Amino acid sequence: MDVQTKSKQSYLNQPTERISGAEAVIRCLIAEGADTIYGYPGGAIMPVYDELFKYQDQIHHVLTRHEQGATHAAQGFARISGRVGVAIATSGPGATNLITGIADAQIDSTPMVCITGQVPSHLLGSDAFQETDIVGISTPVTKWNHQITTAEEIPEVIAKAFYIARSGRPGPVLIDITKDAQFGELDFTYKKCEGIRSYNPIPKVNPVQLSAAAELINNAKKPLIVWGQGVILGEAEEEFKAVVEKSGVPAAWTIMGVSAIPTSHPLNVGMVGMHGNYGPNILTNECDVLIAIGMRFDDRVTGKLSDYATQAKVIHFEIDPAEVDKNVKTDVAVLGNAKESLAQILPLLNKNTHTEWLKKFEELSKIEFEKVIKNDLHPTKEGLTMGEVLKEINAQSKGEAAIVSDVGQHQMIACRYAEFNTSRGNITSGGLGTMGFALPAAIGAKMATPEREVVAVIGDGGYQMTIQELGTIFQTKAAVKIVVLNNDFLGMVRQWQQLFFDRRYASTVMTNPDFVTIAKGYQLEAKRVTKREELAAAVEEMMTSKEAYFLEVCVEKEDNVFPMIPSGASVSEIRLE
């Protein structure tokens, strides 16, 4: 079959054809719509790469510079598009290098399929060259995994993998394929998986629980919504906005939930959690009904659990039954996909306003502005702040850019101050907190949505963990905008050392290279900013560039991120300084 003929095939529900297992892998990916995959070749996966060479017109393979970069790129691709990301690697170290990204995808509910090569099946368990038990290693951090040892298994297992990865609460799946299964032949035909016995990814919404939830919301005097990424994953943004506006309930977000409704929405009262906004944190412990939607009561949101919203009736809208009552005891649990459950509760809700209650958020917001925000966004000190860099990005992007942040102080600043008008605008490593996430994730995000501006906001520490992915940008010409906020410190750890360890800055001072010279070595446009008067023009130049751009901004070395809830403290003990 020539390339021109192959490009017209969907390989879905077609007559059987005798092909190799390796070719079957490629045809399965095409049938699932995987047109962009990220990976790194090696001996145990070489038969698949050999077949991939023949299908370049249908699948764009992106050669990352490290397998971890492949997983983060696949995550960025998935997070911004809602499609399943795909990463591929060889056996042994190639497979183990995927683990950090897989674990990140698991805790942040990112749909991803990882395919690894494996030694021939007769060598399994013999400690052969580059053999590792990747199925055993990845079991705790995957939604499902499976080892294929015969070619005949490939279509059914890959169909199942994509179904599991994208259905219900999404997550990563790993498929390990022995080399003899890749070389073996099968009579190939492909059918998508539409269901698996005993696996019920979306619970049916219970009308009794819906009614109970609606009654609590309608009778509440001081209700508060806290929403998470479940709204975005469920594609429930419109239903969520309708519920917020009809009920008149102030709504706060976790870092994974931001952008589901615009930052500027009058009922959007800010971020909860360790570095969240003052008002929603303080008033969590004053509300009478707490409505959690698509969030899992992570410890960074709740602080001290025994003091978290003990006065409130708690309603939990959640797709995963395992999350209900795991951390916070709920009074009403509404299981189901957020899109369906919010659509069904909307007609049960009374049209309402909570004017006096909203005034409390406004009052606390003014206090936070005077104590914190004014100094972050309108500083009087000589040195640049991270906040004013985000302010300038907002001015240039008008809230339409996707912000991909790494992990650390800059991440909290980006989440606090970036403006979003469009959903799926905030892409970050939430649950695992993976330094090195942002650069490769931004590559994947830009490739998934080339029409959208993608800005990676990274600290000088995390940047150097995956700096080699500049090579991927150089080779693919992905027009990612990279902003490194350089304070010559591992800033978040340094902040804790300052506040809780008497300024003993143990192993947090960074002696950094010339980042601009490195970027220029990869033929990226690059600039360094050290003065406030240089910032606006540099950001404008970056944002108007049609190509990849690197901008280093040298910021204050010892700035801290406030507000802050100290570890082990309650949300009521949030500090402004």
Domain residue ranges in the chain: 3-188, 207-360, 378-554
Fold of domain 207-360:
Rossmann fold (3.40.50)
pLDDT digits (tens, 9 = 90+) for 128-163: 999 999 999 999 999 999 999 999 999 999 999 999
Longest alpha-carbon distance in the chain: 72
Averaged pLDDT, 198-209: 97
Residue pair 184/155 in contact by the 8 Å Cβ criterion: no
Q: Domain 3-188, CATH 3.40.50.970 — does that match?
A: yes
Checking if the pLDDT of 3 tops 60, the result is no
- Residue 130 annotated to the active site: yes
User: What is the predicted pLDDT for the residue at 13?
Assistant: 77
CA 219 to centroid of chain Cα atoms: 35
Q: 143, 160, 179, 360: which is the annotated catalytic residue?
A: 179
Beta bridge partners of 261: none
Q: 23, 51, 67, 323: which is the annotated catalytic residue?
A: 67
Report the CATH number of the 378-554 domain.
3.40.50.970
Averaged pLDDT, 533-541: 97
Residue pair 290/307 in contact by the 8 Å Cβ criterion: no
Q: 112, 447, 492, 564: which is the annotated catalytic residue?
A: 492
Beta bridge partners of 426: 403
- Residue 67 annotated to the active site: yes
Averaged pLDDT, 533-544: 97
Q: 53, 56, 129, 221: which is the annotated catalytic residue?
A: 129
Averaged pLDDT, 170-184: 98
pLDDT digits (tens, 9 = 90+) for 162-174: 999 999 999 999 9
Checking if the pLDDT of 2 tops 70, the result is no
Averaged pLDDT, 460-477: 98
User: What is the predicted pLDDT for the residue at 9?
Assistant: 58
User: What is the predicted pLDDT for the residue at 5?
Assistant: 39
Report the percent of the chain where pLDDT is more than 90: 97
pLDDT digits (tens, 9 = 90+) for 382-399: 999 999 999 999 999 999
Q: 130, 396, 468, 498: which is the annotated catalytic residue?
A: 130
Checking if the pLDDT of 6 tops 50, the result is no
Averaged pLDDT, 114-133: 97
3-188 and 207-360 share one fold: yes
CA 420 to centroid of chain Cα atoms: 15
- Residue 118 annotated to the active site: no
pLDDT digits (tens, 9 = 90+) for 255-305: 999 999 999 999 999 999 999 999 999 999 999 999 999 999 999 999 999
Instruction: Grade residue 11 by pLDDT with cuts at 50, 70 and 90.
Output: confident
User: What is the predicted pLDDT for the residue at 14?
Assistant: 83
Please give the angle made by the CA atoms of 15, 19 and 22, to the nearest 5 degrees: 125
Residue pair 202/267 in contact by the 8 Å Cβ criterion: no
**DSSP code, position 372:** I
- Residue 577 annotated to the active site: no
- Residue 182 annotated to the active site: no
Averaged pLDDT, 203-216: 98
